[in-house]
Amino acid sequence: MIETKGLRKSYPSKKRGQPPVDAVRGIDLDVAPGEIFGFLGPNGAGKTTTLRMLATLIRPDGGEARIAGADLFADPAEVRRRIGYVAQGGGTTDAVTAREELVMQARLHGTGKAEAVRRADEALKAFELTEFADRPCRTYSGGQRRRVDIALGVIHSPKVLFLDEPTVGLDPASRGHVWTEIRRLRGEGMTVVVTTHYLDEADALCDRVSIVDHGGIVAEGTPETLKREISGDVVLIGLGAGEAERAAKALREQPGLPELHRLEQRGEDGLRLYLDDGAAAVPHLLRALDGAGVTTGTVQLQRPSLDDVFLARTGRSIEQS
């Protein structure tokens, strides 16, 4: 449904005399029909730029792309007819009601008045917006307003929907509601592409994920396969302030400990360890730290997350970027 090769974009630097910013450095994608595909990465990774290029809002500097059967470079107008796009901040107006917004949007897509009213009504029902459809948008909660944004993005039944950070700033219940709507659209056969910097969102919502950093893809696959690459368990150990370096040294030098695949310092007062059997290793680790006179606090045992995949590929954490 979406195929790209070497898609790239640079911006002139905002600082005079500085080289251009390579926001997207050549991205290859193959998104299948009916999947929820996610771009996960820290701020500035190039997610929004990629999405805006695919949605015809920014012209790429180079590469190739076909979206829903139309060529992005040769026929952007046809691409635009076949896609929907919802920007980060959304597009609703304070004083206008959801019903009015939806009718207007349908008419913008060339629909006649009666048909626009009918489609708006259908969308209000599908997105569970009917109850407050005739109140101005300024009276809605963040989650309700987000659902109006998405309803506006799909009023013309596009084949592909692009959503930029669809749940940013929402409370957990509203995020769950938005995820339900996105899954419903997939159930109707729509292909949905989302950007997110929330690890749990990429994990729970997306069928496949591209993890992006500095304008390039550093890993791609289903959340499950990506996490399976990181074998074993993750153990997080909280320490006294400023103890991380001493603790890391003590564990690295301690003979007879279970094999550590990797050991990372988390700031100045935490360690993150990757090993085969976390539960069996914890008593040994604590004894070794105690023997070195290091104060330990909380200990958590986790399965690897998508952040561990990012860390393994880039040496940094998305959460701490």
Ligand X SMILES: Nc1ncnc2c1ncn2[C@@H]1O[C@H](COP(=O)(O)OP(=O)(O)OP(=O)(O)O)[C@@H](O)[C@H]1O
Q: Which residues bind ligand X (CB under 6 A)?
A: 11, 14, 21, 23, 41, 43-49, 197
Nearer CB in complex with ligand X: 20/69: 20
Strands (E), the chain: 2-11, 21-31, 36-40, 62-67, 70-71, 83-86, 160-164, 191-196, 208-213, 216-221, 233-239, 260-265, 270-275, 296-302
**Smallest distance, ligand X to C-beta of residue 100, A:** 30
Whether 218 and 211 have beta carbons less than 8 Å apart is answered as yes
DSSP states along 146-192: HHHHHHHHTTT--SEEEEESTTTT--HHHHHHHHHHHHHHHHTT-EE
Whether 144 and 129 have beta carbons less than 8 Å apart is answered as yes
**Smallest distance, ligand X to C-beta of residue 162, A:** 12
**Smallest distance, ligand X to C-beta of residue 77, A:** 23
Nearer CB in complex with ligand X: 14/16: 14
**Smallest distance, ligand X to C-beta of residue 96, A:** 27
Nearer CB in complex with ligand X: 44/136: 44
* Coil vs helix vs strand at 120: helix
Nearer CB in complex with ligand X: 159/175: 175
- Residue 263 CA: distances (Å) to CA of 28, 229, 282, 314: 32, 17, 14, 15
**Smallest distance, ligand X to C-beta of residue 42, A:** 7
**Smallest distance, ligand X to C-beta of residue 23, A:** 3
Nearer CB in complex with ligand X: 99/175: 175
Nearer CB in complex with ligand X: 216/223: 216
